Amino acid sequence: MILPDTRYSFNKKKRIKRLKILIISLLSIFTISILCIVFIFKGDRNIIFLPKEEDPESLLVLWEKKRYDEIITLCEETLKKRPLDFQALSLVGFSYFYKGVAQFTLEEKIPMLDKAIIYLRKADMLGKEQIPGSIKYILGKAYFHKGKYYTDLSIEYIENSIKSGYIAEDSYEYLGLAYLNLEEYQKGIDAFLLAAERNPSDTLYLVLGQTYYKINDLEKSEEYLIWTLNSTKDIILEQKSRMLLGKIYQETNKHLKAEEQYKKVLEINPKSADAYYFLGEIYETLQDRTRARFSWRKALEIDPYHYGARLKLY
């Protein structure tokens, strides 16, 4: 977007006056910054800074208690007096972010994320982070939660935070998910592999299995799905893994293995219409029309609007 030339118009005296105010503010910030907070991130939200000992309700105490509203009130009052106060900009930005991601609806979430981004971008421009990259990391997450159309900014900020040496527990997970939003599956896989090296989990193995499937690397997909099954106790993750394994075995003509996976899904979830539908497809391939039609009817009993089963039967 190109702004018109008349968007901002100041006369010479006003410019000189504003420049003096800016210089005085910057000198004040430089002096205050010696006594400012020291940010130390570990994982997602463990921010530690040095409070005043005589202040029992310090920002540290408020932060540990997750009293974001009080932090926002205090910091916004500070910013009315000192608009470039790094401590206030950072903490109010973090507080709006964590309040925002806790909301249930986009109507409540987006305005708070927007405020978080405004404050944190100002703080980022000051360049006073004790641990470079921590603010960029939260900015990257904020843009990710704003939705798909902000994915490029999410990637930019998270990658910059990693380059600066700041890597949180979920940095690579967010980076991988952002690349999936752009359908850049190989870059997503690369990020998830780095995440798995640092903190392996059943969820990561499942995501890797799903992503390898998208790029048609069925061997790698099968490998990670089996790792998921061997490591998880979550029945939802198990069901997802077995459904995808069944599909892989169908596509590679391993029909008995596929049948085994779908039957195990039905042991976990007897109301899985999809499992019955795909069993019907297997029996159809094996030329067992009776069992195929039985499976499709079961799928329709569970979900009368199941498109695939309706198509097969009618």
pLDDT in tens, the chain (314 residues): 333 334 334 344 444 344 344 433 433 333 323 223 222 233 454 443 434 433 435 777 888 888 999 999 999 999 999 999 998 999 999 999 999 999 999 999 999 999 999 999 999 999 877 777 999 999 999 999 999 999 999 999 999 999 999 999 999 999 999 999 999 999 999 999 999 999 999 999 999 999 999 999 999 999 999 999 999 999 999 999 999 999 999 999 999 999 999 999 999 999 999 999 999 999 999 999 999 999 999 999 999 999 999 999 98
Report the alpha-carbon distance of residue 69 to residue 75 in Å, rounded.
Answer: 10
Whether 155 is in a domain gets the answer: yes
Q: Maximum Cα–Cα distance for the chain, whole Å?
A: 90
Whether 68 is in a domain gets the answer: yes
- 166 and 45 in a common domain: yes
Cβ proximity of 302 and 276 under 8 Å: yes
Q: Tell me how many domains the chain contains.
A: 2
pLDDT, position 305: 94
pLDDT, position 127: 80
Enumerate residues 6+ apart whose C-beta is below 8 A from 33: 86, 128
Report the alpha-carbon distance of residue 5 to residue 267 in Å, rounded.
Answer: 68
- 296 and 162 in a common domain: no
Report the alpha-carbon distance of residue 247 to residue 103 in Å, rounded.
Answer: 36
For residue 306, give its domain range: 271-314
Whether 236 is in a domain gets the answer: no
Ramachandran class of 40: left when φ > 0, alpha when ψ lies in -120 to 50, beta otherwise: beta
Whether 238 is in a domain gets the answer: no
Q: Which of 155, 181, 207 is the last residue of a domain?
A: 181
Decide: helix, strand or coil at residue 48: coil
Whether 11 is in a domain gets the answer: no
Residue corresponding to tokens 């980022």: 124
pLDDT, position 234: 96
Whether 77 is in a domain gets the answer: yes
Whether 257 is in a domain gets the answer: no
Paired tokens of 93: 């930005």
Nearest to 123 by CA among 88, 98, 162: 88
- 176 and 276 in a common domain: no
Report the alpha-carbon distance of residue 68 to residue 84 in Å, rounded.
Answer: 20
Paired tokens of 262: 């779908």
Q: Which of 129, 164, 181 is the last residue of a domain?
A: 181
Report the alpha-carbon distance of residue 278 to residue 204 in Å, rounded.
Answer: 26
Q: 85: domain CATH number?
A: 1.25.40.10
Residue corresponding to tokens 């527990």: 169
Enumerate residues 6+ apart whose C-beta is below 8 A from 295: 276, 277, 279, 280, 283
Whether 122 is in a domain gets the answer: yes
Q: Which of 138, 153, 181 is the last residue of a domain?
A: 181
- 56 and 166 in a common domain: yes
Report the alpha-carbon distance of residue 237 to residue 82 in Å, rounded.
Answer: 50
